[in-house]
Amino acid sequence: MKKTIALAAVAAFAGTAMASSLVVDVSGANSWGFQGDAMNETLSVFLGAGASVTSISWDVTLTTIVPSWADENTMTFNGSQSVNVAAGDAFTVSNAAYAGSTGSSLVLDGTGLLNIEFHEVGFDDIAGGVDSFFGQGSSLTIGYVPTPGSLAVLGLGGLVAGRRRR
């Protein structure tokens, strides 16, 4: 009986997908050109195969290089969800602070990687050069739900095996 209770506890704990968050330092990330430009900087973050991204929050400082505007700076996640931290700021900025968040429904593939591309939208004002960059202390917080791991499968298998012995 005690063994079955212990196995049930392991299975319940391991099988429960608990929300997690990860803070990602984006200090110094540069934006060069339009999405897909070979010069753009990308950052890959491992969250686990099949993880579901639920939210993206930012607390950043942004500097643009004249004549680039703040609202041209964009981050795109896994090629599909874009975030513009300075939406509506159609002017150049120096060390301007931006904070905010948005929901997400991205589900990661088998690699478990969340790929973030830093790029421009609207205009690439400085062809072949940096248009904007994030200052020191800039970060993203990625909210996600990991998929149950192999421990859950082992726990459930042990629970079933424990029940069959009776």
Q: Which domain holds residue 118?
A: 18-147
Three-class SS state of 12: helix
Residues 1, 43, single domain; the answer is no
Residues 83 and 123 in one domain: yes
Mark whether 53 and 40 lie in a shared domain.
yes
Q: Do residues 86 and 155 share a domain? A: no
Q: d(Cα 133, Cα 136) in Å, to the nearest integer?
A: 10
Please tell me the predicted confidence (pLDDT) of residue 17. Answer: 60
Check pLDDT > 70 for residue 160.
no
Which of 107, 49, 47, 116 is closest to 76 using CA atoms?
Answer: 116
What phi, psi does 122 have (nearest 5°)? 85, -70
Question: pTM to 2 decimals?
Answer: 0.80
Q: What local confidence, expressed as pLDDT, does residue 153 receive?
A: 42
Are 101 and 32 found together in one domain?
yes
Q: Are residues 9 and 49 in the same domain?
A: no
Tell me: do 157 and 138 sit in the same domain.
no
Q: What confidence score (pLDDT) does residue 148 get?
A: 74
The strand pairing partners of 76, in sequence order, are 82, 117
- Asked whether residue 54 falls in the same domain as residue 107, the answer is yes
Residues 105 and 93 reside in one and the same domain: yes
Q: Read off the pLDDT of residues 11-55 as tens digits, 9 standing for 90 and up.
A: 444 445 689 999 999 999 999 999 999 999 999 999 999 999 999
Q: What is the pLDDT of residue 71?
A: 97
pLDDT confidence bin for 149, thresholds 50/70/90: low
The answer on 73 and 3 residing in a single domain is: no
CATH of the domain at 104: 2.60.120
> Same structural domain for residues 81 and 54?
yes
Helix, coil or strand: residue 59: strand
Q: 98-110 burial, b if ≥16 CB within 10 A, otherwise e?
A: beeeeebebebee
What confidence tens digit (pLDDT) does each residue in 53-81 have? 999 999 999 999 999 999 999 999 999 99
Instruction: Between 157 and 115, name the one with better pLDDT.
Output: 115
The verdict on 155 and 142 lying in the same domain is: no
Tell me the pLDDT of the chain averaged across its residues: 86
Specify the pLDDT at position 164. Answer: 45
Structural domains in the chain (count): 2
